[in-house]
Chains A and B, each alone.
Chain A
Amino acid sequence: MKNFRIALVEDDQALTDGLSRLLRGAQFRVEGYGSGQAADAALQHEHFDLLLLDIGLPDLNGLDVLSRLRSRGSTLPVLLLTARDEVSDRVRGLDLGADDYLVKPFAIPELLARIRALLRRNHNLAGRLVHGPLIMDLNAQRAWIGDAPLELSAREWAVLEQLLKNVDKVVSKQQIVELLTKSDATLSFNAVEVYVSRVRAKLEEAGVNIRTVRGFGYMLQSTLAA
């Protein structure tokens, strides 16, 4: 994965410091800004792949930074960090053009998963999903375990792609049904189980484990916290 550059705008020093270290540990390049003004200035001249933006900043608040950014026509993915979780706050942030929203304090794996999802959405050109030894090339429609090609049916492919795009998140059976069926067709949960168990069998030897969450769905878990 290429070294994405993330702008981190946060005025709490302990949080900025910790996040910078964790993000660098996860192979991101991080630029930290302690105020809205500084971030706003940097965003006008420098290139970033993602903006991690705190709302409660001392001078220019995060929502102002965001609206200035969008008014300049930027499509930079923005993940808001906030201490407030009123529905109205959330709606305001998303209305101003934020792509996602995370309430403090957050679990680091959750933050990383959201960052990766946003980057993937914006860099679909790269088109490669990687999970341990498993690699999926979405453009070439080919998958490998290590160096060995992995053969998948169209439906198996769709299931695995969905799981890989949501590492550490449960993909519900209902989501899979909606993914696999056109509007006219119907699919039972039993059929979903069949597809998943087929994919699971193909991944088992490589040590990639699809976890079943009883009554809910399936999940690929990252073994590392970061």
Chain B
Amino acid sequence: MRALLSIRLRLFVWLLLPLFVITALGALITFWQAWLPTRDAYDLELTDAAIALAASLQPGPGPGELMLSAEAERVLRADSFAQIYFAAYDTKGALLVGDAGLPRPAAAVRIGGSTHYDGEYQEKPLRLSASREVIEGQPVELVVGETLNKQNRVQRRIFSALLATNVMLIVATIAITLIAVNQGLRPLTILGEAVAKRSHKDLTPVGGADIPNEVKPFVDSINGLLNRSALAASNQQQFLTDVAHQLRTPLAGLMTQLSVLQQYALPNELHHIVTQLQSSGDRAARLVNQLLALARAEPSRFDEARLQTVQLGDIVEQAVQTWLAKADEKKIDLGAEVQFVRVTGDPFLLREMLDNMVANAVQYTPEGGTVTVGCAIQQGQPTLFVEDNGPGIPPAERDRVFERFYRIDGGSNGSGLGLAIVRDIAKIHSATVHIETPQNGSGTRVCATFANQPVGL
């Protein structure tokens, strides 16, 4: 039963079904408690009528015959609601007076006693009373019946009164159950919403001090799982960091040996090979730094203790210094445009971010181009930017280039991580990155704009 997988529905069914049964039984009992005394009262009336009939009977012309005056019969039959039938029988069961065929009691009634029963006459249901009296020296059975008009009326009244109160009771019960169940399940709803709102990287424990006892074991085991996940994620990041660090020493050996090789007067072909090897080594070294930056830019590992006031101008100058040699190789005019701007951030990560922005510009700007690295207050916000006069990025691709491993030209030179790292680092610094076209109308301007930062000026 898929439907019963809802706790709410389960509670409804298990609370309301028994309640309905109990309410119905209660109504039935109430009905009979209200009805039986009423029926007894009507039965007594019928007995009284039988006694009145007995009193009205007079000796008839023949021996053992009895008769009733028209006057007496009129009084007997007078009733505003029901139709009255009556009959008197002798001991042999022969009709002495009254309506023929009126149902007789199942068992004989003793003298001076009376009995009540249901019957049918002329296709009408009747309530009847039978008694036995001695009249004019002979025992006579007196039967009086009436149609059920009065009884039915009373029953209907009892029934409608019961219906009204019970419907009210049921509606109130459903409403209270609904409210109670929702109220009881509220902590679960709140917990669910809190978990649903989480980022997939947020592995901190769920729930607070207000977790109900019943849910606590479940929440505890969820938190245990989250803990293990966080530990595994942290171990993975630590592993990545360790691997990246371990790679640096052999890379340094490789690069150093290549520098040695380059000092010799090499034949052209060998010189070309050494240059290619050096460029591969450079890329591997950059990749190591990028991996470290990625690991460190993970929100779970982002360390607020590393935050400090950073002069963006210093970062810009360091980046220009770092990339000057590479820019020279492509005869690119690499320059700076520095304003006095400060932000709060992790200096290593901000450098790595700008490094990746500059690397991208130097890579995609053709020989003889211009790349400008700078910082400024743009629309009131501290901004790091790298502008080039290269081919530019079509507006349709400007968001996609920040995805990991996305490359515009499918070229193999970059790792495809650079701008993804820029975006990740920007994000944890509450900065946004975007690409625009420089004011002179061609090229690319990548901006990292810091929000919520006190602007230093």
Contact = CB atoms under 8 A, between A and B. Distances in A.
Contacts of A17: 257
Interface string A193-226: 0000000000000000000011110010000011
A105 B255 contact: yes
Interface in A26-71: 54, 56
B248 interface: yes
A18 B253 contact: yes
Given A216-B317, A216-B336, A87 B257 contact: no
B440 interface: no
Contacts of A103: 248
Interface stretch (B40-48, B52-60, B230-238, B319-327): B319-327
A225 B263 contact: yes
Interface string B66-80: 000000000000000
A213 B335 contact: yes
Contacts of A226: 259, 263
A92 interface: no
Interface in B318-340: 320-321, 324-325, 333-338
A215 B253 contact: no
Contact of A216 (B252, B262, B263, B338): B338
Contacts of B334: 213-214
Residue picked from A13, A87, A105, most chain B C-beta under 10 Å: A105
B337 A104 contact: no
Nearest to A90: B348
The B interface, classified by DSSP as helix, strand, loop or mixed, is helix
Given A12-B252, A18-B257, A215-B372, A85 B348 contact: yes
B321 A87 contact: no
B251 interface: yes
A15 B256 contact: yes
A170 B324 contact: yes
Contact of A14 (B253, B262, B281, B337): B253
Given A104-B252, A214-B372, A22 B335 contact: no
A142 interface: no
B246 interface: yes
Nearest to A106: B252
B418 interface: no
B317 A22 contact: no
Given A18-B253, A83-B248, A215 B259 contact: no
A12 B292 CA distance: 22
A130 interface: no
Contact of B325 (A19, A107, A172): A107
* Interface size band for A: 20 to 34
B348 A87 contact: yes
A108 interface: yes
B16 interface: no
Contacts of A170: 317, 320-321, 324
B440 to A, nearest CB: 16
A76 B334 CA distance: 37
B347 interface: yes
B249 interface: yes
Contacts of B249: 12, 15, 54, 56, 83, 104
A75 B335 CA distance: 39
Interface in B273-288: 281, 285
B257 to A, nearest CB: 4
Contacts of B338: 215-216
Nearest to B281: A105
A22 B254 CA distance: 13
A24 to B, nearest CB: 10
B250 A84 contact: no
B347 A22 contact: no
Contacts of A54: 249
A131 interface: no
Nearest to B257: A18
A87 B245 CA distance: 14
A81 B251 CA distance: 13
Interface string B153-189: 0000000000000000000000000000000000000
B205 to A, nearest CB: 28
A57 B66 CA distance: 139
A213 B262 contact: no
A56 B250 CA distance: 13
Interface string B282-323: 000100000010000000000000100000000001001100
A123 interface: no
A21 interface: yes
B106 interface: no
Interface string A155-187: 000000000000001101000000000000000
Contact of A105 (B248, B337, B374): B248
A25 interface: yes
Given A105-B281, A216-B320, A216-B338, A18 B248 contact: no
A216 B306 contact: no
B260 interface: yes
Contact of B253 (A15, A84, A213): A15
B256 A18 contact: yes
A12 B263 contact: no
Interface of A: 12-15, 17-19, 21-22, 25, 54, 56, 81, 83-87, 103-108, 169-170, 172, 213-216, 219, 225-226
8 contacts: A85-B348, A87-B347, A103-B248, A106-B252, A106-B255, A107-B325, A213-B335, A216-B336
Interface of B: 245-246, 248-257, 259-260, 262-263, 281, 285, 292, 306, 317, 320-321, 324-325, 333-338, 347-348, 372, 374
Given A14-B257, A170-B320, A213-B320, 17 more contacts: A12-B250, A12-B253, A13-B253, A15-B249, A18-B256, A19-B256, A22-B263, A54-B249, A103-B248, A105-B281, A108-B256, A170-B317, A170-B321, A213-B334, A215-B335, A215-B374, A216-B336
